[in-house]
Amino acid sequence: MNAMNALIGNLPALLATANLQDRLWFGDGAFTPAGGQSDWMFQFIWWCSVVAFLGLMILMLWFSFRYRRRKDKAAPASPHHNTILEITWTIVPTIFFAVMFFEGFRGYINMSYAPVGAIECNLTARQWQWSLEYPSGQITTEFATTTGGARAAENEQTFSTSESPIWYFPDGQPVLLRMTSVDVIHSFWVPDFRMKQDVFPNRYTSYTFTPEPLTESARLMEDEELGAYRYRDHLLFCAEYCGDDHSEMAAIIRIVPQEIYEAKLEIFGSPRGTLAERGKLVAQQNGCFSCHTVDGSSNTGPTWQNLYNTEHQYTDGTTVLADDNHIRESIYVPGAKVRAGFANQMVSYQGTISTEQLGWVIAYMKTLSDATPEAELAATAVDPDAEGGEGEAGEGEAGEGAGEQAESMEGTPSGG
């Protein structure tokens, strides 16, 4: 909804600055060769239609004036045939239709088949988040609440979405996404690439794109760890209405130089932070926050605030203590016990969240509950990869780490 409001709010400004071409279609370049082809095709068909329409209408008006009935003149006999005219109006449109067909087919093939050597990723759609897995299994650890696409940035627009993942891809390199859904039908749509593809449960579809190389006009990122680099953002939306938070189902495709892409994969591949921090990350990566809040308010699912180690009522009439076992069951077999007042709307994460990751998620939930015993709470602040092991000093370090990570997440750039 916010994205929509931003768009509508900016419409007058957009119309004022856009040239004629912009007003007829998306405006500037398509950022992929296949998208460029699609734009060309659109313009070709559009202008053919304009010329044909105007030609027909002008002739029609002219004929009805020129050959109108007059009192003093008898209607002349109509000619039956004009061979040259008939051949012309058959062959000329056929040529135009042939161009549309063959160019359209070529574009379709380019959109359907990935070039050799494409980066192959798995993409899972769920209510209401996209999860991307890189070829070696990495998952992004970066999420942003506000951002802009390449076009939005130029127009100083911002789109606000809840916790959108940021995915990095190198410029000029083809990407192939193998897509499936765990629940309902979604649709993968990147307006900057001009292409849209449905994503189904129980079936794979694919999407391929080759981002245009970054130019000097691309935006500059000042990264403390990786130095300064150029990047370009493209927004991904879901284009198939899929429930309550359909409009928030977005992601940011960030095109960066090859070496930055590799560095990011390196970072994504190594888990960092305390157990609780890792648990929060796993929850973000799996879209838990599109249904669960941590502030006490109910969403599609019950809040995680004070969930752990307290008793809750279930639809079968029982009251259950939410201990480790219950939470484990809730995540792997969500239908086993359905919280009173909620629908059995959660999909199982068996096979998606590993046993180790499950432990991290539970640790994170512990930090959100007042009912968590002191000793258990302290254990969630341990960083299993930190040197020096446990103890007072170790915990202190882990605490600082938490602050840094939170900062770096907020530090992701906004569209402004």
Binding interface with ligand HEC (CB under 6 A) = 127, 283, 286-288, 290-292, 300-302, 307, 312, 322, 327, 330-331, 334, 338-339, 342-346, 349, 353, 361
Q: Which does 186 bind (CB under 5 to 8 A by kind): Cu ion, ligand HEC, none?
A: Cu ion
Which of 166, 179, 190, 249 is in the footprint of Cu ion by CB under 5 A?
249
The CA-based dihedral angle spanning residues 276, 147, 10, 246, taken in that order and rounded to the nearest 10 degrees:
-50
Cα 346 vs. chain centroid, distance in angstroms? 21
In the bound complex, what is the minimum distance in angstroms from residue 308's beta carbon to Cu ion? 30
Q: By C-beta, is 301 or 413 nearer to ligand HEC?
A: 301
C-beta of residue 330 within 8 angstroms of C-beta of residue 288: no
Residue 198 sits at φ, ψ, to 5 deg, of -70, 150
Nearer to ligand HEC (CB atom), residue 259 or residue 311: 311
How far apart, in whole angstroms, are the C-alpha atoms of residue 367 and residue 377? 6
Using rule CB under 5 A, residue 123 touches Cu ion: no
The CB-of-198 to Cu ion minimum distance in angstroms stands at: 10
Residue with tokens 């004929």: 63
| Minimum CB–partner distance for residue 313 and Cu ion (Å) | 31
Cα separation, 249 vs 162, in Å, equals 8
Comparison of 206 and 303: residue with beta carbon closer to ligand HEC: 303
Task: Report the residue number, 189 or 308, with the smaller CB distance to Cu ion.
Answer: 189
> Residues 30, 34, 238, 381: which binds Cu ion (CB under 5 A)?
238
Nearer to ligand HEC, 176 or 377 (CB): 377
Identified binder of Cu ion from the candidate list 123, 190, 242, 281, rule CB under 5 A? 242
Report which of 236, 253, 35, 261 is spatially closest to residue 170, judged by C-alpha positions.
261
Q: How far is the CB of 168 from ligand HEC (least distance, A)?
A: 23
Q: Which does 276 bind (CB under 5 to 8 A by kind): ligand HEC, Cu ion, none?
A: none
Give the N- to C-terminal CA distance of the chain in Å, as an integer. Answer: 19
- Answer positive or negative: Cα dihedral of 61, 63, 69, 73: positive
Closest to Cu ion by CB, 186 vs 280, is 186
Minimum distance of ligand HEC from residue 282's CB (angstroms): 7
Question: Which residues ranging from 171 to 210 are in contact with Cu ion (CB under 5 A)?
Answer: 186
Provide the minimum distance between the beta carbon of 333 and ligand HEC in the complex, in angstroms, as a whole number: 9
Distance CA 130, CA 181 (A): 9
Query: Could you identify the residue written with the tokens 């749509």?
Result: 189
At a CB cut-off of 8 Å and minimum separation 6, what does 210 contact? 32, 33, 34, 115, 172, 173, 174, 175
Nearer to Cu ion, 37 or 187 (CB): 187
Closest distance of CB 321 from ligand HEC, Å: 10
For residue 283, count other CB atoms closer than 10 A to its CB.
Answer: 21
Our CB check for ligand HEC shows the closer of 183 and 395 to be 183
- Alpha-carbon distance 28 to 13, whole Å? 16
Tell me if 115 sits within 8 A of 174, measured CB to CB.
yes
Tell me, what amino acid is at 181?
S
Which one of 41-49, 56-64, 134-142, 239-247 is the stretch in contact with Cu ion (CB under 5 A)?
239-247
From Cu ion, ligand HEC, none, interface partner of 191 (C-beta below 5 to 8 A by class): none
Q: How far is the CB of 23 from Cu ion (least distance, A)?
A: 29
Distance CA 167, CA 413 (A): 14
Token duo for residue 71 = 């009192």
With CB under 5 to 8 Å by kind, the binding choice for 249 among ligand HEC, Cu ion, none is Cu ion
Enumerate the β-bridge partners of residue 208. 176
| Alpha carbon distance 188, 165 (integer Å) | 14
Binding piece for Cu ion, criterion CB under 5 A, among 113-121, 132-140, 146-154, 235-243 = 235-243
Task: Give the pair of three-digit tokens for residue 101.
Answer: 């067909």
Q: Which is nearer to ligand HEC, 172 or 341 (CB)?
A: 341
Q: Which amino acid is at 384?
A: P
> Cβ 353 to ligand HEC, closest distance in Å?
6
Q: Which residues in this chain contact Cu ion in the complex, by CB under 5 A?
A: 186, 238, 242, 249
